[in-house]
Amino acid sequence: MAAKVLLAVPPGCDKLEVYQVMGLRAPPLGLAWIASVLESRGHEVKIVDSPTLGLTIGDFIKILKSWSPDVVGLSSLTPTIRLAYKAARAVKVVDEGIKVVIGGVHATFMWREVLEKCPYVDYVVLGEGEETMPQLVEALEKGAKLRGIQGIALRNESGEAVQTGPWRLVDLEKLPPPARHLLPMDRYTVFGKPVKVVHVMASRGCPYGCIFCATSYYFGRRVRFRRVEQVLDEIAECIDKYKTKIFAFTDDELTINKRWFESFLKGLKERGLDIQWTCGSRVDSVDERLLARMFSSGCTTIYFGVESGSQETINKIGKRIDLRLAEKVFEVIKKIGGSAVATFVLGFPWETVDDMRKTVKFALKLDPDYAQFTYATPYPGTPLYEMAKKYDLIVDRDWSHYTTVRPVMRGFRFTIKDVEAVFTEAYTRFYVRLKFLVRQIRLGVFKDFLKTIFNNIVLPRLRGWLR
């Protein structure tokens, strides 16, 4: 029997700081993959990407009433979990008989809290949902017992939150392409400009296990790639269907498997897929030859997580890179005329103000095209969260503030005000430089620069004054 399943990103996410500061407008590929599997099994599916469409809770309720789903699946990140609760409540107000399922990184690690705090959530799907969600939907349709489905959490007969067992990682090669036809593909743009972009994920996971990265632990500290041909086919189809050649790879680290990546670059050339693309990488998984091939194959920007200007901090967080190599890689990129973004994290518990300033100084030394500074944030499921709990370092327990652009954790030797001051200093020193300003004017992106300054320097100061 076919079911009607509505999958949604909760309304209100577009009002969160992380959306406003970083200008995020990316598709929920996880929901699109679950939708694709559900459709392949004969179910009717709708995806509601609320933040991209700017939907309110009222809009969401209208959709619920007009479409009358049997099951509603909600995605959750740590800063959006409260919005997911509100959406779950809205579902039950419309029809108490609709089953509410929640999934995602936060719900996976905090499933007990989710079920105890939100009576409107019926089930939590743990980990990847492409196999578990269809099993759950079909069991609900048949009225079958759910305890035999691995990887879900629910309330037992006495109302206690329990889980049925550990979740399993899915076989990516067996997944159909994401159901992009259910997404507002014309609304995914680059920095708010009218340039269509398609997001692609060729792999999931990262084996390194940095102490602040929840996704690394969510995917079991391992990386899995789809077949090269699958990814190339998907790119070719998207070029034809969505009339764009701009792609963003959302993988944690696209270049980690050199054999796979070499085959991918070769495939792009052989199939004449003339695209412009961005990706994330590590400084220890590229060299001059590979970088030159990447930029000649249409890569426009590479994102590197450098994280700190202190080798001691790099070692403590489990990043496992050498900062001297980072310097070399950024020098090579400048030499061959490529573009790179470096990301840095401020406020690890053991740091001092001077340590954080070392990171700012190192960012200036690397001089990437753009730098992103964020606050060390103790996300559930990470070793950093356990450390912050153990030493009572968390000063803000409002999950909606866990955006990386608002500090929620003090250090052993610094206060919240200390790290806020360095954060503002970091953006000011990096972006308000004559060398950088001239570069922006030459590139014709001075307006984008002003927006960055406002979002990352002016807004944080206003927020501090309003506290």
Walk along the chain (467 residues) and give the pLDDT tens digit of each residue: 799 999 999 999 877 765 655 555 789 999 999 999 999 999 999 999 999 999 999 999 999 999 999 999 999 999 999 999 999 999 999 999 999 999 999 999 999 999 999 999 999 999 999 999 999 999 999 988 898 899 999 999 999 999 998 889 999 999 999 999 999 999 887 766 667 899 999 999 999 999 999 989 999 889 999 999 999 999 999 999 999 999 999 999 999 999 999 999 999 999 999 999 999 999 999 999 999 999 999 999 999 999 999 999 999 999 999 999 999 999 999 999 999 999 999 999 999 999 999 999 999 999 999 999 999 999 999 999 999 999 999 999 999 999 999 999 999 999 999 999 999 999 989 988 777 777 767 666 555 655 655 555 555 554 554 45
Strands (E), 50-147: 71-75, 99-103, 123-125
Closest Cα to residue 286, out of 262, 308, 252, 313?
262
Please provide residue 45's backbone torsions phi and psi, each rounded to the nearest 5 degrees: -130, 140
CB distance 27 to 52 below 8 Å? yes
The tens digit of pLDDT for each residue in 343-400 reads 999 999 999 999 999 999 999 999 999 999 999 999 999 999 999 999 999 999 999 9
Query: What mean pLDDT value characterizes the chain?
Result: 92
| Interior angle at CA 29, CA 283 and CA 147, nearest 5 | 110
Given strand 246-249, what is the order of strands in its sheet? 198-200, 246-249, 276-281, 299-307, 340-346, 370-375
Which pLDDT score, from 0 to 100, does residue 182 have? 98
CA 333/CA 356 separation, integer angstroms: 25
| Interior angle at CA 15, CA 11 and CA 19, nearest 5 | 105
What CA–CA distances, in Å, run from 120 to 88, 90, 124?
A: 5, 9, 11
Q: Domains in the chain and their CATH numbers?
A: 4-163 (3.40.50.280), 188-466 (3.80.30.20)
Closest Cα to residue 380, out of 15, 162, 81, 75?
81
CA 454/CA 375 separation, integer angstroms: 18
CA 84 to chain centre: 17
For residue 266, give every residue at least 6 positions away whose Cβ sits within 8 Å of its Cβ, in sequence order, or none.
none
CA 143/CA 399 separation, integer angstroms: 35
Host H or E run for residue 190: strand 189-190
CA 20/CA 452 separation, integer angstroms: 11
Q: For residue 101, list its beta bridge partners.
A: 73, 123
Q: Model's pTM, two decimal places?
A: 0.92
CB distance 29 to 178 below 8 Å? yes
CB atoms within 10 A of CB 458: 12
Q: Looking at this protein, which amino acid is placed at residue 198?
A: V
| DSSP string covering 255-299 | TSSHHHHHHHHHHHHHTT---EEEEEE-GGG--HHHHHHHHHTTE
58: left (phi over 0), alpha (psi -120 to 50) or beta: alpha
Host H or E run for residue 302: strand 299-307
Closest Cα to residue 367, out of 414, 422, 429?
429
CA 31/CA 13 separation, integer angstroms: 16
For residue 291, give every residue at least 6 positions away whose Cβ sits within 8 Å of its Cβ, in sequence order, or none.
302, 329, 332, 333, 336, 338
CA 226/CA 319 separation, integer angstroms: 25
Which pLDDT score, from 0 to 100, does residue 14 have? 75
CB atoms within 10 A of CB 142: 9
> And the tokens for 406?
């608002």
CA 8/CA 29 separation, integer angstroms: 12
